[in-house]
Structure 1
Amino acid sequence: MKKYLLSVFSILLPLLTFAQDAAEKGLDKQIDEAFGNATGWFVQAIFYQIPFTENIKVYWVLFPLILGALYFTVYFKFINFRGFFTSVNIVRGKYDEVDHHESMIAAGDSTPGGDAIETIAVEGHEGEVSHFQALTAALSATVGLGNIAGVAIAVSIGGAGATFWMIIAGFLGMASKFVECTLGVKYRDIGEDGTVYGGPMYYLTKGLKTKGLAGLGKVLAVLFAIFVIGGSFGGGNMFQVNQAFQLVENITGGEQSFLHGYGWVFGLVMSVLVGIVIIGGIKKIAKVTDKIVPFMVVIYVAASLFVIFANIGMVGDAFGQIFSGAFSPEGIAGGAIGVLIQGFRRAAFSNEAGIGSSSIAHSAVKTKYAASEGMVALLEPFIDTVVVCTMTALVLIITGSLATGGPSNDAEAILMTSGAFGSVISWFPYVLTVAVVLFAFSTMISWSYYGFQGWAYLFGRTKKAEYTYKVFFCLFVIVGAAASLDSVIGFSDAMIFAMMVPNMIGLVLLAPRVKEELSRYMKAIKK
């Protein structure tokens, strides 16, 4: 009897201790600490910093991303520049007849893998969404808080010169995006019901198998699938809704707001809206994003242009600061660490070039030529980083917002950007709040698709597996709005960074396949 009581007591004691700590700290904080202790090693490994000087340290994961983008830029003979106008014409529909002309049907490679029906164009399976819809679906996951909060943090750390490095990063990222999205279409699977399954999981598995590296491909694909699921729950979900709620709460009165303490209500509403969209799959997601994303970008860019033209006399000086500060120690620190770390980390590297996630959305496109969607995809970093992020930076510079001191976190960074717009357009912070909520919403629905693709790869393509993932995703929306889970968000950020490792290995090894696809498509459109 005594042994029985002792065993029961030994089980109950940790639970009672946990309950007591939870009552003192709050359940979310207690869970956060426990989770952080369990996963801290992984986060530290991914975010390990290599010291350059006494004051400058750079995360190691930047090197594969930057060197990979440079390699692809040179290997594909600066496709990110010479292919720009061709890409615009593809989105406009100028070359749509290429996909419908019988004499131009792309000859399919043999892509063994046994993952359902292989997607050779001659089998009659073309995809689910248009080039424009695929672009907006991917953009909806990238254009968001990184363009607002990340840029504010970057330029506050590195000064105006950080903007120059941000633009360079955007141009280089276009080449990486071209490679991964071409592969996403080339090696996608299309189920018997027409549902597309694509992304790094498939080009790592099937693409590397064609090179005699089936074992390596399988391991890399499984790792990527695990990482993309983790990233979808955290950075693509909880972080988004958490930041959106903080801004809504702030604009309605802060701690005096009627929403204070009711984050779960905001999360519940967002969860229902997200659930309604994601149940319909990529077609429903694309129909929503091809309306929301252009609207958001136009509103944001229009407001930025209004602020810029209202201070037109200061624009020359702003560009002068950008170029003069680009090569100063402060500027380089801001560009490499502030932009590529702070900004890209908080919005999945802002444009996600080299991460592999966008190739999942682009793989659902209706086309018979894989390179056609790769060309479309290279516009994504240009719109996201070169245009939208640069607009934000210019607004912050010319309104003098950088003189007030830098933000310490993303919530403060959003308010800093909001204040910069508000100094010229008094009512715009309210519009920006709506935009942030829409940014967060569109990012969540796109990342739900990314995470589900990883989930389906690991657990099968059954309806049960699909709805299990989507229910979990919607529950995490509520948790993200209601709780302060810093360690969980940090871990999910590490998962998104980690996606780069298996993906970049596959991109480098499969680059010759992409060159073949590009040559085939360019010959087709010339005819």
Structure 2
Amino acid sequence: MMTLSITQQDNLDQKINEAFSNTTGWFVDAVFAEIPVTDSVGIPWVLIILILGASYFTFYFKGINLRAFPTAVNVVRGKYDDLEAGAKVLVSEEVVTVDGDQLDTLRVEGHDGEVSHFQALTAALSATVGLGNIAGVAIALSIGGAGATFWMILAGLLGMASKFVECTLGVAYREINHHGIVYGGPMYYLKNGLRDIGKGRLGKILSVMFAIMCVGASFGGGNMFQANQAFKLFEFVSGGEESFFFGKGWLFGLVMAIFVGIVIIGGIKKIAKVTDKIVPAMVLMYVLVVVIILGMNYENIPSAFSAILKGAFNAQGVTGGMIGVMVQGFRRAAFSNEAGIGSASIAHAAVRTRYAASEGLVALLEPFIDTVVVCTMTALLLIITGQITVGNEVSFEQGVILTSNALAQGFSWFPYLLTVAVILFAFSSMISWSYYGHQAWSFLFGRGKRAEYLYKSIFCVFVIVGAAASLGAVVDFSDAMVFSMMVPNMIGLVLLAPKVSVELKRYINTIRS
């Protein structure tokens, strides 16, 4: 049997990456084409649409980002759970049928969802809280300085409105089969929602576009990228070139693929049972460690906030900050909170509720937790410990290591906690994205068991490939697919905003009465 030397293997990897880049480069260039702001600065058009869309929804729903925040917390706490039992199920004018049965009848019979509000929130958060909160922040600050943090917080606050709209629609237009399994997300509210307002042909086209991009994103940014970056940090902490695991990414990937496979075979219920334990634990662990470091350097916190505010409004802060956060930070972690992308609505669609807006309110907490809280704390950590040199742009691997070094200034063993957190972040992101990808896959190829197991098998194989491979152009392509999901989704959100307004009034009136 012919074997390849290390040099030959490196050359082969390089050729594969070059071939992939040449094949898909036009797509990546089209998605990330920039609109010039100055002679030297440009902003990708997709980011402009996302920010404009989030701003539009913020004004359209009269500042629901902050106005409805207390209500959202109460929904997650279960304060309004008693409203679900006595709810009157409204039958739409054009009744949707699934397997020959009426969708609304299925809800009356008790099949009104699969998971709780809290589980839906954690399942969606597990896909968003990840390496973007750790390495992505370091990349943003290396470009835009401390002022980048201000624009990151602003993007998170605006994104709360987009998340509310898409997750309300995810529940409003979901489909439920006779086994009580929920199928939801942009594919369904684009197809069914736009049909209801007389734009059925457009809805079919946009729904297929979104599904194709979602499947691609699940294999790339939601899988291979996560496995690859988790292994890189694990390899670094375990000794680098001296480690037993050096160069054995396939072994790390195989172990992770086994655990991923065990979870995703069980569907959203199994995923939710895992994420509602992992997500709170890993977020609390990471936040607690960062708080300890900040507490040990409390005298520097005021100056850090001062640097954030001053840096946000100088030339370097505005241009570098916006581009650093929105391009580097959000792009590298699928926009961190994924507001406007539409992916989270797939997880939220599985919630047990008869009021679509109730889950929309729950979902608006995601960007707050993901970006305003976790990302901001990472930024303060990096600023206070002096890990960032502005103008010296770092890679994702370097960004994780900078955060690890910052934590080491507290206790020498803190970087090991970060490694555990990153692996859990990657694991939870993969199992949630497998659900997103499978939902899109079933929309394209049917809901049979054969199609389901084929997708999940392919997904597990890509876990191994991702940990072992040098991703290169594959990561750029998968990121571009995540961004491109925004295009059909945002069109649907704007056209269906009046439907969301009706659902919101219905739920708020029920609470008041």
Q: Deviations over 1:19-48 (max 9, x none)?
A: 999936443332222111111110110011
- Partner Cα distance (1:111, 1:402) in 2: 57
1:499: which partner in 2? 485
Contact 1:111–1:187, Cα closer than 8 Å, also in 2: no
Higher mean C-alpha deviation, range 287-296 or range 116-125: 116-125
- Partner Cα distance (2:448, 2:127) in 1: 25
Structure 1 segments unaligned to the other structure (5+ residues): 1-15
1:47: which partner in 2? 32
Task: Confirm or deny that 1:69 pairs with 2:91.
Answer: no
Change (3 A) 1:136 1:111: farther
1:6: which partner in 2? none
Counterpart of 2:123 in structure 1: which amino acid?
Answer: A
Secondary structure at 1:58 match in 2: strand
Q: Deviations over 1:417-457 (max 9, x none)?
A: 11111112221101000100000000000000000000000
Task: Confirm or deny that 1:85 pairs with 2:75.
Answer: no
Task: Confirm or deny that 1:512 pairs with 2:495.
Answer: no
Task: Confirm or deny that 1:217 pairs with 2:206.
Answer: no
Task: Confirm or deny that 1:132 pairs with 2:115.
Answer: no
2:92: which partner in 1? 109
- Partner Cα distance (1:172, 1:277) in 2: 33
1:159: which partner in 2? 145
Q: What RMSD over aligned residues (CA atoms) do the two structures have, in Å?
A: 1.7
- Partner Cα distance (1:441, 1:257) in 2: 22
Contact 2:98–2:176, Cα closer than 8 Å, also in 1: no
Of the two, which has the highest radius of gyration?
A: 1
- The one of 398, 403, 419 aligned to 2:405: 419
2:297: which partner in 1? 311
- Partner Cα distance (2:164, 2:261) in 1: 31
1:23: which partner in 2? 8
- Partner Cα distance (2:382, 2:170) in 1: 37
**Matched length:** 508
Secondary structure at 1:129 match in 2: coil
1:12: which partner in 2? none
Contact 2:96–2:103, Cα closer than 8 Å, also in 1: no
1:292: which partner in 2? 278
Counterpart of 2:182 in structure 1: which amino acid?
Answer: V
Secondary structure at 1:61 match in 2: helix
1:183: which partner in 2? 169
- Partner Cα distance (1:403, 1:74) in 2: 37
Q: How far 1:360 moved relative to its partner?
A: 0.1
- Partner Cα distance (1:68, 1:246) in 2: 36
Contact 1:153–1:406, Cα closer than 8 Å, also in 2: no
Structure 2 segments unaligned to the other structure (5+ residues): none
Q: Deviations over 1:374-407 (max 9, x none)?
A: 0000000000000000000000111111148745
Change (3 A) 1:425 1:24: closer
Counterpart of 2:58 in structure 1: which amino acid?
Answer: T
User: After superposition, where does 1:334-483 map in structure 2 within 5 Å?
Assistant: 334-403=320-389, 406-483=392-469
Q: How far 1:63 moved relative to its partner?
A: 1.1
Q: Deviations over 1:162-190 (max 9, x none)?
A: 10111100000000000000000000001
User: After superposition, where does 1:231-270 map in structure 2 within 5 Å?
Assistant: 231-270=217-256
The alignment-based identity, stated in percent, is: 64
Q: Deviations over 1:297-354 (max 9, x none)?
A: 1011111111111111111111101111111111112331111111111111000000
Q: Deviations over 1:53-75 (max 9, x none)?
A: 12211111011100000000000
- Partner Cα distance (1:390, 1:118) in 2: 46
Contact 1:106–1:369, Cα closer than 8 Å, also in 2: no
Higher mean C-alpha deviation, range 328-337 or range 470-479: 328-337
1:9: which partner in 2? none
Return the TM-score normalized by structure 2: 0.96
Contact 2:144–2:390, Cα closer than 8 Å, also in 1: no
Contact 1:227–1:498, Cα closer than 8 Å, also in 2: yes
Secondary structure at 2:429 match in 1: helix
Higher mean C-alpha deviation, range 329-338 or range 205-214: 329-338
Secondary structure at 2:134 match in 1: helix
